[in-house]
């Protein structure tokens, strides 16, 4: 009956070729009774979980012709409560290889009959694995260089085998469970590069002031309703903080002693306090196909965001801030050889000045 209800609500046609838009409809299908023609009707919206009354009868709609034969009816009875044993397993491994690498992995499995104190019967058998690793690649470099290069990797996978089919109370076979399974996998990689400040002027103005982060994520999934789910994502973050000197001169040293000390020691700063640059690039490709849709939905995003910020503090009582953010779409007009970095889609600027008396 559950299968009939699903077919009635999924846009199928009846034996006359009409769409089954009402629940009170007739289905004629030769594949439901060993190749013989069969006629089925579902009236109303019955549910096997809420049965109040069962009525069985035979009616002859003809007034001139009589029929004879046998009517077979399967009885419906409530069985005793099932007392199947439930099983679950959990394992975890956490290890470190000196200060170079660490690994953390977990495996968890819960059978369909497993129950906890706070939960009732389960509707699926679940299997999950997760692996995380972190490698300090800077240990392969001389420590005097001052680099920090952590590399992180994550792998996770989950699989769920349903006990029953959709809108059904009949247990599935092993082959049917594989067809109706829900499975997701995810891999993630990330590498970061930065360097502690040194005394050499060239590296202090270049590598010491830079930070770089690269990451990649891939997700795959299947389910009874979404046979195809794919998402790939790559990101890059780069930042630079200019190590500006802070030269200043006293501009009120000529004032007499009776003037406030804060005023006599006022300084004029020639250079900005900070000058920063940040770049964020992200590319995402996603594809999804649902059984209810005829085509696969594909989306792609490739964006670049640049942020410039600076702060000035020429006097102790005077402060100013300026920021510029430029957003670009790299799906078109992107050519590194021609220094073409996509199409600019928006630009935001902000400036403020603060005077404290």
Residue-level pLDDT at 65 = 84
Closest to 327 (Cα-Cα) out of 272, 278, 269, 288: 278
Average pLDDT for the chain: 83
Position 46 scores a pLDDT of 64
The rounded distance, in Å, linking the Cα atoms of 298 and 294 is: 13
Q: Which of 262-271, 292-301, 304-313 has the lowest mean pLDDT?
A: 262-271
Report pLDDT digits (tens) over 128-180.
999 999 999 999 988 888 899 999 999 999 999 998 877 666 778 888 888 88
pLDDT-derived band at 103 (thresholds 50, 70, 90) equals very high
Q: Which among 113, 264, 133 is positioned nearest to 189, based on CA atoms?
A: 133
Is the backbone of residue 339 left (phi > 0), alpha (psi -120 to 50) or beta? left
Supply the pLDDT for residue 45. 61
Q: Are 120 and 85 in contact (CB under 8 A)?
A: no
| pLDDT tens digits along 191-250 | 999 998 888 888 889 999 999 999 999 999 999 888 889 999 999 999 999 998 888 888
Q: Region 104-128: what's the mean pLDDT?
A: 85
Distance CA 147, CA 237 (A): 17
pLDDT at 25: 47
C-beta atoms surrounding 175 within 10 Å? 8
* Span 326-344, average pLDDT: 81
Q: Under 8 Å CB-to-CB from 272, ≥6 apart: which residues?
A: 244, 310, 311, 312
Mean pLDDT of the 11-30 span: 54
pLDDT at 311 over 80: yes
Residue 315 has pLDDT above 80, yes or no: yes
Nearest to 279 by CA among 328, 245, 318: 328
Predicted local distance difference test score (pLDDT) of residue 247: 84
Q: What is the mean pLDDT of residues 51-65?
A: 79
**R_g (Cα) of the chain, nearest Å:** 35
| pLDDT for res 23 | 46
The yes-or-no verdict on residue 95 having pLDDT over 90 is yes
pLDDT of residue 22: 47
Flag whether pLDDT at 54 surpasses 80: no
What pLDDT does residue 29 have? 58
pLDDT on residue 36: 59
């Amino acid at each position: 009956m559950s299968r009939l209800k699903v077919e009635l609500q999924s846009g199928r046609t009846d034996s006359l070729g009409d769409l089954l838009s009402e629940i009170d409809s007739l289905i004629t299908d030769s594949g439901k009774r060993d190749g013989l023609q069969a006629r089925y009707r579902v009236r109303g919206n019955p549910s096997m979980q809420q049965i109040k009354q069962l009525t069985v009868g035979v009616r002859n709609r003809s007034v001139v012709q009589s029929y004879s034969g046998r009517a077979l009816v399967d009885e419906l009875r409530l069985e005793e409560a099932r007392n199947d044993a439930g099983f679950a397993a959990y394992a975890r491994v956490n290890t470190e290889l000196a200060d170079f690498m660490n690994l953390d992995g977990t495996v968890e499995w819960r059978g369909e009959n497993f129950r906890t104190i706070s939960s009732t019967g389960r509707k699926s058998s679940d299997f999950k694995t997760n692996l995380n690793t972190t490698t300090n690649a800077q240990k392969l470099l001389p420590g005097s260089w001052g680099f920090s290069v952590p590399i992180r990797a994550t792998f996770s996978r989950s699989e769920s085998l349903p006990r029953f089919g959709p809108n059904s109370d009949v247990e599935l076979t092993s082959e049917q469970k594989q067809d109706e399974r829900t499975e997701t996998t995810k891999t993630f990689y990330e590498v970061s590069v930065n360097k502690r400040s040194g005394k050499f002027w060239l590296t202090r103005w270049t590598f010491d002031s830079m930070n770089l982060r690269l990451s990649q994520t891939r997700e795959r999934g299947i389910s009874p309703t979404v046979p195809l789910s794919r998402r790939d994502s790559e990101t890059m973050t780069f930042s630079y903080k200019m190590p500006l000197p802070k030269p200043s001169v006293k501009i009120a040293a000529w004032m007499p002693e009776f003037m406030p000390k804060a005023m006599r020691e006022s300084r004029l700063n020639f250079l900005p306090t900070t000058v920063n640059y940040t770049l964020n690039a992200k590319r995402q490709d996603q594809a999804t196909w649902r059984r209810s849709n005829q085509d696969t939905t594909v989306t792609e995003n490739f964006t670049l965001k640049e942020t410039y910020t600076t702060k000035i503090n020429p006097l102790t009582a005077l402060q100013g801030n300026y920021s510029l953010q430029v957003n670009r779409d790299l799906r078109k007009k992107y050519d590194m050889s021609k220094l073409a970095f996509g199409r600019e889609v928006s630009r935001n600027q902000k400036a403020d000045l603060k005077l404290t008396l």
